[in-house]
Amino acid sequence: MTSLLINGQATEHISALDRGFQYGDGLFETLRVRGGQILHWPLHMARLAEGCERLRIPMPDKMVLLAEAQQLCAGRDGVLKITVSRGVTQRGYGFDDGLVPTRVLALAPLPGFPASHASEGVRVRLCQTRLGHNPVLAGIKHLNRLEQVLARAEWDNEQDEIAEGLMLDNQNHVIEGTMSNLFCVQGETLQTPKLDRCGVRGITRGRIMAAARAAGIPVAETRLTVDDLHAARELFLCNTLMGIWPVRQLEDHAFTVGPVTRQLSEALHD
* Identified catalytic residue from 176, 178, 204, 240: 176
3-state helix, strand, coil in the chain (%, to 5): 30, 35, 40
Decide if 81 is catalytic: no
* Identified catalytic residue from 29, 89, 141, 204: 141
pLDDT at 2: 78
Asked if the domains 3-108 and 115-268 are classified in one and the same CATH topology, the answer is: no
Count CB atoms within 10 A of the CB of residue 97. Answer: 7
Count CB atoms within 10 A of the CB of residue 244. Answer: 23
Decide if 129 is catalytic: no
Going 13 to 18 to 23 to 29, the CA torsion angle's sign is: negative
Q: Where are the domains of the chain?
A: 3-108, 115-268
Where does residue 187 fall: left (phi above 0), alpha (psi -120 to 50 degrees), or beta otherwise?
A: left
Tens of pLDDT, residues 72-118: 999 999 999 999 999 998 888 888 888 899 999 999 999 989 999 99
CATH 3.20.10.10 fits 115-268, yes or no: yes
* Identified catalytic residue from 30, 83, 89, 102: 30
DSSP string over 166-215: EEEETTS-EEEESS-EEEEEETTEEEEE--SSSSB--HHHHHHHHHHHHT
Whether 160 shows a pLDDT value over 90: the answer reads no
Whether 249 shows a pLDDT value over 70: the answer reads yes
Of the CA atoms within 13 Å of residue 94, those in its CB half-sphere come to: 1
Q: Beta strands 102-108 and 78-85: pairing type?
A: antiparallel
Question: 211 near 204, Cβ under 8 Å?
Answer: no
* For range 171-177, the mean pLDDT: 98
pLDDT at 98: 82
Q: Give this prediction's pTM.
A: 0.93
Tell me how far apart the alpha carbons of residues 91 and 51 are, in angstroms, rounded to a whole number: 23
Tell me how far apart the alpha carbons of residues 28 and 240 are, in angstroms, rounded to a whole number: 13
pLDDT at 84: 98
Decide if 141 is catalytic: yes
DSSP string over 123-144: EEEEEEEEEPP-TTTTBS-BS-
Tens of pLDDT, residues 18-31: 999 999 999 999 99
pLDDT band at 32 (very low <50, low <70, confident <90, very high): very high
Fold type of domain 3-108: D-amino Acid Aminotransferase; Chain A, domain 1 (3.30.470)
Whether 175 shows a pLDDT value over 80: the answer reads yes
Average pLDDT in the chain? 94
Tell me how far apart the alpha carbons of residues 106 and 123 are, in angstroms, rounded to a whole number: 30
Tell me how far apart the alpha carbons of residues 25 and 23 are, in angstroms, rounded to a whole number: 5
Tens of pLDDT, residues 116-151: 999 999 999 999 999 999 999 999 999 999 999 999
Whether 158 shows a pLDDT value over 90: the answer reads no
